[in-house]
Structure 1
Amino acid sequence: MLASLWAALLAPAFSAFGSPISWLELVAFVLAVWMVICNMRVNLLAWPLALLSSLMYFALFWDGKLYGEAGLQIVFAVLAVWGWWQWRFGRTRDGEALKVRRLGMQGLLKPALLTLAAWPLLGLFLDRATDSPLPYWDAFPTVVSLLGQWLLARKYVENWPTWIVVNLASVVLFGLKGYWLTVILYAGFIPMSVMGWRAWRRA
C-alpha cells in the first residue's frame, strides 16, 4: 500500500518546460507559498505549514538525490516545531515575549561567518560520501537556510535578506535538476521576501 501511495505521489500531475511535475511537488509548492504568506503576517499557522511542506520536499529531494537539501528538510521539520514554540512561548533575554526586532550587523557577523565556513565542509562531505550530482550547489542553500530559519524563529528582521540569498541560489540548483515548479516557487519567494522584509522593518 505504501509503495502504491508513493508511486501515486510521484506520478506526473502535469508537465512544465519538458519536465514532469509530480503531485508531491505540486502539493508541497502550495503549502510552501501559504507558509511564506503566514510568515509575512507573523501568523503562527506558518509553522505547521512549514512542517508539512518540509516533509514533502524531503521526499522529493531524496528521490532526486539532492541529499543536502533532503537532509535540510528534516532539520526544517524539527525547527518548525521549535519555531512554533519560540513564537508561542519564546522570550528575549529581558524576559519579554518575542517580537519583530533587529539583530544588527554586529550580532549577525558571527553566525554569518560560521555559515560560510560550513558551506565548503558540507560540500566536501556530499562530494565524498554521496552520489549527489551538485554537492557544492546543494550545500550552499542548505547551510544558509539554517541561518535563515534561526533568524526567523527568533523574529529577527535579518531573516528576510538571508532568505533572498537562499532563494537565488535555490533557483539555480533546482533549475539544474529540472524541478521547474520548485524553480517558480523559489523565484516567487524572492519578491515575497522583499515584501516580508519591508513589512517586518515597519513592524
Structure 2
Amino acid sequence: MQSWLTLFVEQLKATTWLEWTAVILGVAEVLLARANKVWLYPSGIAATLISIFLLLEVALYAEVLLNGYYVVMSVYGWYHWVKKRGKPAVKVAYANKREWIITLLIVFVGWGLLYLLLINFTKSTVPVWDAWVSSTAWAGMWLLARRKIENWVLLNVSNLFAIPLLYHKNLVMFAVLTLILFIVAIFGYYDWRKIINKEKLTLVAS
C-alpha cells in the first residue's frame, strides 16, 4: 500500500500543467455527456488535441492514431447532435439491430487491426490488451456520436480493462482517473435511461 501511494504521489509531481489541462477537459467531457449536453464535444476535442501533442512528444504513435480517431468521431458527433435546419435534435435512444452489428464490427475488426499494427509497427508489450481497450473505446465513441445509451456500456468495458493496464504501466494517476470515469459512466447510463423512459411516458400521454 505504501509503495502504491508513493508511486501515486510521484505521478502527481511529474504531471505538467498541459497534462492537467487535458485531464480536466477529459473529465468535463464525460460529465457533460452524462448531462446530455452538446458542449461535451468541444471539451473532448480540446482534450484530445492536447493529448495528441503530448503523445507525439513521447513517440506513442499508435495512441496518436487512436486520439486522431477520437477527434474525427467528436466532430462527427458534434455535427450529428446539433439541431439541423427544420429538423429536431437527435434524441437519446437504444441502438437498433443494424447499429449493434456495426458496433460489434468496430469492436472485433478494430481489435484485430489494431493488434496487427501494434505488433508490426510498435514495441508494445501488451498488444492484445491495449488493442482491446482501444477497439471497445472506438465502438463507444461511435454510439455516443449517435446518442445511443449503449455507449456507456462499451466505454465502461474499455475503462474496466484500461484501469489494470494503466496500473501495469505504472500510470497510477491515469488509472485512478479512469476509475472515476468508470463510476461517472454508470451514472450516465442511468441518467440517459431516465431520459428515454420520460420520452416514452410523454408519447403515451399524448
> What SS does the aligned partner of 1:155 have?
coil
Output the amino acid matched with 1:194. I
Distance in 2 between the 1:90 and 1:134 partners?
Answer: 43
1:158 matches 2:150: yes
Distance in 2 between the 1:117 and 1:148 partners?
Answer: 14
| TM-score, normalised relative to structure 1 | 0.81
| TM-score, normalised relative to structure 2 | 0.80
Larger of the two Rg values belongs to structure: 2
Name the % identity: 28
Distance in 2 between the 1:179 and 1:121 partners?
Answer: 25
- Report which of the two has the higher share of strand: 1
Distance in 2 between the 1:186 and 1:70 partners?
Answer: 18
> What SS does the aligned partner of 1:169 have?
helix
- Are the aligned partners of 2:62 and 2:122 in contact in 1 as well (CA < 8 Å)? no
- Are the aligned partners of 1:151 and 1:157 in contact in 2 as well (CA < 8 Å)? yes
Please state how far the C-alpha of 1:65 moved relative to its aligned partner.
Answer: 4.6
Cα-Cα RMSD: 2.3
> Which structure 1 residue ranges, 4+ long, deviate > 6 Å from structure 2?
none
Could you tell me which runs of 5 or more consecutive residues in structure 1 were left unpaired when the two chains were aligned. 1-14
Output the amino acid matched with 1:156. K
- Report which of the two has the higher share of helix: 2
Counterpart selection for 1:103 from 95, 110, 122: 95
Distance in 2 between the 1:110 and 1:51 partners?
Answer: 24
Q: How does 1:49-68 map to 2 (within 5 A)?
A: 49-68=43-62
Count of aligned residue pairs for this structure pair:
186
Q: How does 1:157-196 map to 2 (within 5 A)?
A: 157-196=149-188
Distance in 2 between the 1:63 and 1:175 partners?
Answer: 21
